[in-house]
Amino acid sequence: MTPHQIVLMIFDVYNKVGHRQYGESVTELEHALQTATFAMQFNSSDAIVVASLLHDYGHLQHDEGEDVASHGVDMRHEDLGVIKLKRFFGPEILEPIRLHVAAKRYLCHKSKAYIDGLSPASRLSLQIQGGPMSADESAEFESNPYYKSAVELRRFDDMGKVSGMKTPTLDNFFSLVLSFVR
């Protein structure tokens, strides 16, 4: 498969099932586009923009329903996404994706204000994802060379829940994603 075909395949998944509700006031595709758009607006690296676009790819890989977290089930979408994408991208894309849930737990450990700012859906998923990190977990998380990238992505993830927000289209990200396919 060529790099061009790989990006077409990934984008096809978004086009086929990205209409599903994210658990917020946006669809999976809208959330991905918003998260990547915020990364661009804050002048993040191209790798963070691509990771932001693809960070919830794992949600698109299962058919367990759109409200799986409300049933107390953690689909480990961060791991599922990395499993599906690992043949195509390097660690600068995969590690922030893999760590973005841990980054939420980390930020909750670091700041009560962060917890208070979480949406109801994020608070619910936090509980099934293990709750705020302990001090030991936090120290271990900080030892990962990609933890800052994951925290950066996480902040854009939290922002990307704006009903009706105008963003570039998925196709506008094609060349950028293509540039990271290995």
Q: What total number of domains does the chain contain?
A: 1
Q: Alpha carbon of 37 to those of 1, 53, 148: distances in Å?
A: 28, 8, 19
25-63 pLDDT tens trace: 899 999 999 999 999 999 999 999 999 999 989 888 866
CATH number (domain holding residue 78): 1.10.3210.10
Q: Which of 119, 102, 97 is nearest to 53 (CA)?
A: 97
Q: Could you tell me the two tokens for 26?
A: 């946006």
Contacts for 58-61 with beta carbons within 8 Å, 24 or more apart? 58/82, 58/83, 58/84, 59/20, 59/22, 59/28, 60/13, 60/14, 60/17, 60/18, 60/20, 60/28, 61/13
Domain that holds residue 39: 3-178
88-123 pLDDT tens trace: 999 999 999 999 989 999 999 999 899 999 888 788
